[in-house]
Amino acid sequence: VAANVAHGLQQNVLYVDSNGGLTASRLLQLLQAKTQDEEEQAEALQRIQVVHAFDIFQMLDVLQELRGTVAQQVTGSSGTVRVVVVDSVTAVVSPLLGGQQREGLALMMQLARELKTLARDLGMAVVVTNHTTRDRDSRRLKPALGRSWSFVPSTRILLDTIEGAGASGGRRMACLTKSSRQILSCGQPAATGSAWMDSLRRSH
């Protein structure tokens, strides 16, 4: 998502990494698949800002700082962040949903409000990854964050690997499972593994 936006749409992206899995070399690899022009690759890399947030308090600080910065910027200025990617929300929320569940839910809802503010009030596209788990009875994939989080995103996409696609796992499936604008359906994108992608609608 970040590479597509930075190169294809030439917009600035804030990538909030809570897993420590995104590297500059991986971003460059993705951009090299899109263009062989080294200048275009460098320009796209400059449009992607990666920050690490390994707990919910760090993530809230990052989002609140972004909100304050954007609120002071001139609308449409070249440095304005247009897309926020949070990868992943599960990593910072799941540890809070143990014994002190009430406090954990309150922090999760505070995070949800910050993300909604960026989307609705500041016109950003917000994309959040959510890990998957399997239902105990049906064994179907479901989002790791349960019902409380399900009300947060306006659009939800399940990315999964198609069984029997071969050892390389080359065939992937994307299912639109929640949307107020599109018919719910499945297709085959270029995705890896299983994950939920949630997006919060930006204002128009």
Domain segments of the chain as ranges: 1-153, 154-203
In sequence order, the β-bridge partners of residue 134 are: 141
Secondary structure of residue 204 in the 3-state scheme: coil
**Tell me, what's the pLDDT at 72?**
84
Rounded to 10 deg, the angle between the 101-116 and 56-72 helix axes is 20
The H or E element that residue 148 is part of is: helix 147-150
**Tell me, what's the pLDDT at 204?**
38
CA–CA distance, 114 with 61 (Å, rounded to integer)? 10
**Tell me, what's the pLDDT at 122?**
92
The residues of the chain scoring below 70 in pLDDT are 74-78, 99-100, 163-170, 188-197, 200-204
Is the Cβ–Cβ distance between 162 and 173 less than 8 Å? Answer: yes
**Tell me, what's the pLDDT at 159?**
87
**Tell me, what's the pLDDT at 42?**
97
**Tell me, what's the pLDDT at 191?**
44
Q: What is the fold, at CATH topology level, of the domain defined by 1-153? A: Rossmann fold (3.40.50)
**Tell me, what's the pLDDT at 110?**
97
DSSP class of residue 169 equals T
**Tell me, what's the pLDDT at 192?**
47
**Tell me, what's the pLDDT at 33?**
95
**Tell me, what's the pLDDT at 189?**
57
Is the Cβ–Cβ distance between 156 and 145 less than 8 Å? Answer: no
